[in-house]
Amino acid sequence: MASYSRTGMHKTSRTSGLAIAGLVCGILGIFLLPIVLGPLAIVFGAVALRQSGSLMAKWDIGLGVLDIVLMILTFVVANNGGSFSWHIG
C-alpha cells in the first residue's frame, strides 16, 4: 500500500512478494496438500526473512511448521485405525 507524505513523495511498501506467497502457501497448506505447501511456506518465509526481516515472513515459517505438524498428526491418527481414544486406568 502506498502512502504520501506532506511533501508529495511516494513511499513504497516493504512487503515482499515472497512473504505474501509464503503466507498463501501456509494458509492453504492447513487445508490442502500440507506435504507440499508447508515446506514451500517455510522456504518462502526464510528467503523473505533474509531479504526484508518482516513479521509476515516469520508468520510464513510458523504456518509452514504448523502444516507439517498437522500432517504428521494426521498420519499418526490414520495409522492408528482412524480412531483416537483415551485409555484411563
pLDDT in tens, 7-17: 655 555 567 88
User: Which candidate, 22, 23, 4, places its Cα nearest to that of 13?
Assistant: 4
Task: Give the distance from CA 36 to its chain's centroid.
Answer: 12
Helix or strand run (H / E) with residue 63: helix 55-79
List the beta bridge partners of residue 19: none
Apex CA 21: angle with CA 73 and CA 37, to 5°?
Answer: 25
Whether residue 3 has pLDDT greater than 80: no
Q: What is the pLDDT of residue 7?
A: 61
60-79: pLDDT as tens digits = 999 999 999 999 988 888 88
